[in-house]
């Protein structure tokens, strides 16, 4: 670790926490059973919530040989490239960048909450699949957290929920070094961490000297933690930051980013038998003996440089003695053996229960193959859609025939008569809730919840999902439930979903008011970086919130989310587009196995999907003369909802070209359609007033016709539309015609929103809305 840290001396870096945790780094490979290969679904997980201590993690991964031979292996060459561009050892751990890194960490507290998600995943899968004599899921999740992590609100929220849910297979190592970047923690943090966690329902254990204890002590305290069956455990380790880094750095805030003042002395502590023996533990003495044997061999037979270093009693830089490496690699081999035994157990499980519980076995087999979305879902969604549309299509206004002035020029009414009944538009949140329920029924891998607004957003279906709760809290509930009550903890909710997604075999989702997603933007950002296909549903998406007022009117959130790389925002305009939005999400799980993230160097096209919809009514699928149905148009990002002609050819004649293209998304498409009707109405009246005003113009046959030709475009997803080929983009927006006016209408904030990429003019929200109906 000192050698890797030295590579970063020019630019500083926060890596001196590594030096406080050398004993822990010896124990963790044994406790966590880090694997050579990572497709064992029931493996123990380790999360480095203190992401700046990455050198510690990379050193462990190298010693164990995680991902050995693969494109993301932490080989010695990669350790030498620590924090360098293009290496698999970035400054903070990144998911899919390094074999063995379960989640991307760096922003403090995120990893803590991710680990809670992993513990939830294990508890749920165990309840779903474990049977007597067949314990398929039984892994622990370990976390290394620091003072900064526990100050963050997301960790406070997540730890509160973990204690409430009694996630006893979550074990947190708390590096209590009492130092932050600005100085001692007493500047801003004086709470009794043990007391706080005990009050939250945690088991609290302590190590008074985390720097000097033998690795076997860590083993014993972990075994003690595993005896607890009702509570998660936090192990509070008193450590000294920058231990051994020299006077003026050790135990001070300079250890967070300062340079080593005594690198050679530090190397003697870490890379010499004498320094290793000073640890005092039995394992330290054994490793010291192996190092001494290697030094003797190097002194006699090594290169001039390595021989010189060995004769001075210190190993050469970036050198791991073969006996030491063999010892640590044996831990990985042990994990590999357990993985093979687990695969055999799964085979016997399927053979035993195939007749008794065919649905459960089929579900398990599909998840092990990386198939989480059922083949039957899309057919079921189509059935729902046809049922929904059948009763209302005859009542929709027909805007198709612009040659006939008696049709299509009245704005769509808020209500329609269907037979003897009155039909009203459904709210966007209702359509999304109905399709979400359908998705949950067809896909048992779907798990998630809401932050205490389920009744408003329609996110919970008790008969389908149940409740994810320990039976001791509520009779009839269990961890097999698929609805998680996150409470009013939005940030933890969204960060926990990342941990669930990382665990694999599950499809995580959350549904909140759109404005409340701002509480958890760092978690959404981490999902984007990690390419986690998480489903977010944001309702109440703009100003139509009545008395709730501007505090609940998220006009700026839509542009904010669109600005995030590798993130899909879908704003559906009607029930067809809602189904299309879920198809976009389902595509993130098509043809993919999680193991590919470690063995396939090609980038994966997986992204989070945010379906944003309204509190108020959505327009209905108009009898469009456009070539694409709404559920198909969403898959292209934008499409023509209604055109000014019935001909669909690659080349349009001058008479078929529109004068104006109106563009919108979500609820605003209905507004755009009304605008089109009003424009036609207005232009027809102008034509009538002009009749006879000029000799022979306008012709008599134009007397009742509109002068304007208007195309309406729905653009539910900018990101997908931008990925279409130029020919398709031109066919929708006709951007190769300079004399066609394009206007974008959207209830989103006006500042630097990017609408000018698609339109000449934009009609947006210059401010928040008002309180009142």
Task: Report, as residue numbers or ranges, the catalytic residues.
Answer: 490
**What is the CA angle 440-446-447, rounded to 5?**
115
**DSSP characters for 115-129?**
HHHHHHHHHHHHHHH
> What torsion do the CA atoms of 600, 603, 604, 609 make, to the nearest 10 degrees?
160
Residue 137 burial class via C-beta count within 10 angstroms: exposed 0-12, middle 13-18, buried 19 and up: buried
Neighbours of 80 (CB within 10 A): 15
Give the strand pairing for 507-513 and 535-539.
parallel
- DSSP-based helix, strand, coil % in the chain, nearest 5: 45, 15, 40
Residue 89 burial class via C-beta count within 10 angstroms: exposed 0-12, middle 13-18, buried 19 and up: buried
Six-digit token string for 54: 């990455």
Neighbours of 348 (CB within 10 A): 11
DSSP state of 604: P
Nearest to 468, CA basis, from 116, 114, 102, 40: 116
Pair 513, 552: CB distance under 8 Å: yes
Give the strand pairing for 710-714 and 421-424.
unpaired
Per DSSP, helices labelled H in 273-414 are 273-277, 282-301, 304-311, 322-353, 358-368, 377-390
Nearest to 295, CA basis, from 268, 322, 314, 320: 314
**What is the CA angle 438-443-445, rounded to 5?**
135
User: At a CB cut-off of 8 Å and minimum separation 6, what does 42 contact?
Assistant: 122, 136, 137, 138, 139, 342
Alpha carbons 144 and 148: distance in angstroms, whole number: 12
Nearest to 260, CA basis, from 4, 443, 62, 6: 6
CA distances from 303 to 77, 298, 311, 344 (A): 19, 8, 12, 47
């Amino acid at each position: 670790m000192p050698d890797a840290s030295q590579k970063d001396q020019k630019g500083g870096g926060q890596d001196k926490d590594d030096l406080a945790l050398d004993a822990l780094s010896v124990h963790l490979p044994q406790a966590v059973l880090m694997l050579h290969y990572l497709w064992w679904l029931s493996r123990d997980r380790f999360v480095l919530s203190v992401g700046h201590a990455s050198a510690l993690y990379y050193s462990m991964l190298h010693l164990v040989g995680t991902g050995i031979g693969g494109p993301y292996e932490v080989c010695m060459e990669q350790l030498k490239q620590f924090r360098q561009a293009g290496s698999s050892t970035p400054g903070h751990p990144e998911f899919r960048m390094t074999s063995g890194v379960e989640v991307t960490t760096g922003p403090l507290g995120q990893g803590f909450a991710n680990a809670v998600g992993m513990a939830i995943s294990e508890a749920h899968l165990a309840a779903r699949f474990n049977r007597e004599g067949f314990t398929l899921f039984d892994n622990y999740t370990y976390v290394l957290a620091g003072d900064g992590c526990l100050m963050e609100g997301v960790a406070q929220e997540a730890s509160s929920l973990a204690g409430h849910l009694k996630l006893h297979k979550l074990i947190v190592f708390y590096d209590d070094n009492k130092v932050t970047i600005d100085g001692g923690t007493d500047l801003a943090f004086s709470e009794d961490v043990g007391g706080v966690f005990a009050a939250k329902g945690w088991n609290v254990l302590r190590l008074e000297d985390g720097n000097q204890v033998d690795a076997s002590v860590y083993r014993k305290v972990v075994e003690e933690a595993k005896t607890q069956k009702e509570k998660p455990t936090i192990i509070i380790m008193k450590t000294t930051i920058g231990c051994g880094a020299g006077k003026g750095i050790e135990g001070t805030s300079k250890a967070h980013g300062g340079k080593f003042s005594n690198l050679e002395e530090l190397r003697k502590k870490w890379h010499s038998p004498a320094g290793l023996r000073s640890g005092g533990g039995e394992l330290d003495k054994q490793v010291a003996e192996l190092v001494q044997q290697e030094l003797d061999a190097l002194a006699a037979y090594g290169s001039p440089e390595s021989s010189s270093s060995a004769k001075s009693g210190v190993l050469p830089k970036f050198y791991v003695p073969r006996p030491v490496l063999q010892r640590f690699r044996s831990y990985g081999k042990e994990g590999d053996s357990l993985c093979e035994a687990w695969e055999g157990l799964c085979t016997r499980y399927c053979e035993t229960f195939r007749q008794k519980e065919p649905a459960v076995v089929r579900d398990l087999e599909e998840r092990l193959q990386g198939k989480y979305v059922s083949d039957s879902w899309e057919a079921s969604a189509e059935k729902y859609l046809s049922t929904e549309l059948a009763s209302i299509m005859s009542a929709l206004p027909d805007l198709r025939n612009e040659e006939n002035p008696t049709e299509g020029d009245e704005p769509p009414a808020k209500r329609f008569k269907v037979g003897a009944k009155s039909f009203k538009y459904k709210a966007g949140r209702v359509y999304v809730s109905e399709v979400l329920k359908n998705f949950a029924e067809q896909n048992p891998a779907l798990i998630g919840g809401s932050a205490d607004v389920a009744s408003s957003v329609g996110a919970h279906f008790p008969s389908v999902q149940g409740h994810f709760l320990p039976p001791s809290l509520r009779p009839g509930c269990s961890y097999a439930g698929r609805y998680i009550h996150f409470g009013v903890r939005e940030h933890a909710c969204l960060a926990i979903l990342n941990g669930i997604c990382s665990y694999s075999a599950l499809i995580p989702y959350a549904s909140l008011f759109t404005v409340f997603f701002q509480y958890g933007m760092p978690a959404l950002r981490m999902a984007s970086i990690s390419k986690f296909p998480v489903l977010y549903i944001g309702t109440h998406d703009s100003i139509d919130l009545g008395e709730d007022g501007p505090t609940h009117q998220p006009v700026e959130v839509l542009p904010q989310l669109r600005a995030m790389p590798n993130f899909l925002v879908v704003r559906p305009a009607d029930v067809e587009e809602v189904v299309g939005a879920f198809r976009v999400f389902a595509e993130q799980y098509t043809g993919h196995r999680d193991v590919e993230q470690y063995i396939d160097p090609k980038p994966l096209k997986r992204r989070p999907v945010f379906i944003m919809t309204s509190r108020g009514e959505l327009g209905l699928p108009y009898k469009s003369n456009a070539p694409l149905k709404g559920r198909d148009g969403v898959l292209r990002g934008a499409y023509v909802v209604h055109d000014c002609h019935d001909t669909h050819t690659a080349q349009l004649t001058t008479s078929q070209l529109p004068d104006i293209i109106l563009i919108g998304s979500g609820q605003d498409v209905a507004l755009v359609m009304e605008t089109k009707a009003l424009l036609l109405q207005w232009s027809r009246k102008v034509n009538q007033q002009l009749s006879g005003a000029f000799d022979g113009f306008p012709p008599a046959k134009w007397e009742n016709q509109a002068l304007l030709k208007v195309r309406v475009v729905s653009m539910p997803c900018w990101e997908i539309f931008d990925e279409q080929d130029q020919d398709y983009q031109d066919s929708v927006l006709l951007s190769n015609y300079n004399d066609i006016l394009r206007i974008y209408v959207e209830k989103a904030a006006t500042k630097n929103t990017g609408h000018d990429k698609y339109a000449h003019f934009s009609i947006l929200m210059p401010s928040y809305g008002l309180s009142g109906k």
